[in-house]
Amino acid sequence: MIEYVIRSRKKIVWILAILINISLISYAQPAENDIRNNSSSGSRVISGYFDSEFFGRELLDSSFIAHHFVLGMSSRLSKRLLINSEIALDYGGKVNGGNNNNTGEITMQQAWFDFKINDGLTQRTGIFMVPFGRTSSIYNSNHRDTTQRPLYLTYIVPSTWVDSGIGIHGVTRYANWFKSGKGLIGTSEYANMEIYYQAYIINGLDSSIDARNGLRNARPGFQQDNNGDKAVVTRLWASPMKGLEVGTSMYNGNFDDNGRNGMFMLGADVFYKYDQYEVVAEVAMVNLDGIEDVPNKMSGSYLEVRADVLQKELIRFLPMLESPSIKAFVRIGTVNTDKDTHYVTHRAMIGFNFRPIKSIVYKCEYQLEDYDQPLNNFSAEALYLSVALDF
């Protein structure tokens, strides 16, 4: 018990040190756009998104899926205070459908408020997306280029990953921080850099962890933490030049009901855009204190390449549409949800999407999944089609 108290105190001191240091850095930097210059109070917005999917997978019956219908409401109560919320109705939202094939979910996906001091320091409280990795926060179906998330975002970073807590976030800007040369990074002129951070104290993941599902079932509820220990999650990312973003994420917290066994996650990500091409890659490693039936180590990664194609042809043959676009993409990824037993899944995917207008997207992708696991060694093909709309 004494050891647990000491360890908890050390973690709290460490958390406070991070928050205080980040706050001091934020206050030391002049805000380029102070909140006094932002939009006035009283504005209210109702928004949302919707998607419908079709999948045909080897060894399974094909099906249409009413996956998401999400309503969002936000209000700027003052020049410094913003409240935001989202309610998600998944699979029709019918919670008590009578059988396993007719059940859905109704969940509070976000419910937080921000109190903004300046661009460098905003305090957030409530239910929010856990900021681990770059792509985990891109949950809107219309904003994602693909129907299927990477394996990494299913079993290692359990997106959509939502938790309740408190913390701070902000951005610091540095003008003319270095002189870039000619070539891929741009012309010979001074580049501006932006550094973003998020640091939160949350309830954290629980002990529903196994090799088959990774961390997916460990996402917490909002009523009660499964132990008295609190987790810390931080994300730091920078844009040193136009088109380039690099980031790192960290998570640390105890996951078992007694609050004695810890989990540490470390991730890195990079995004680069040049002309019509985009590249995004992420990797994460998970270390868990050894307890029975829980893997000790996990890892996952993916690489995705995208390109806008046929732009001239679209403008020529579809002049009645507003900024139509076609994006082709290819992705490879892998997860190992138990390194001791080598519970590995590989996935390769290729496809494209078509946006006749910005608010709607049609997606098509072919997927090959290969299982290299104890008692499970085979491959399966799948076809995914979907349409997504935001409003």
Question: Which residues have CB under 8 Å from 89's CB, separation 6+?
Answer: 68, 69, 70, 71, 104, 105, 106
- φ, ψ of residue 41 in degrees (nearest 5): -75, 165
Question: Which residues have CB under 8 Å from 201's CB, separation 6+?
Answer: 15, 165, 166, 167, 230, 231, 232
Query: Is the pLDDT at 37 greater than 50, yes or no?
Result: no
Query: Is the pLDDT at 7 greater than 80, yes or no?
Result: no
pLDDT in tens, 189-236: 456 788 999 999 999 999 999 999 999 999 988 888 888 899 999 999
- How much is the pTM? 0.84
pLDDT in tens, 43-65: 889 999 999 999 998 888 899 99
Task: Give the Cβ contact number of residue 192 at 10 Å.
Answer: 15
The CATH code for residues 2-390 is: 2.40.160.10
The chain-wide mean pLDDT, for the chain, equals 85
End-to-end CA distance of the chain: 52
* Nearest by Cα to 299 from 272, 270, 330, 333: 333
What's the pLDDT band for 33 if we cut at 50, 70, 90?
very low
Mean pLDDT confidence for 158-183: 80
pLDDT of residue 4: 41
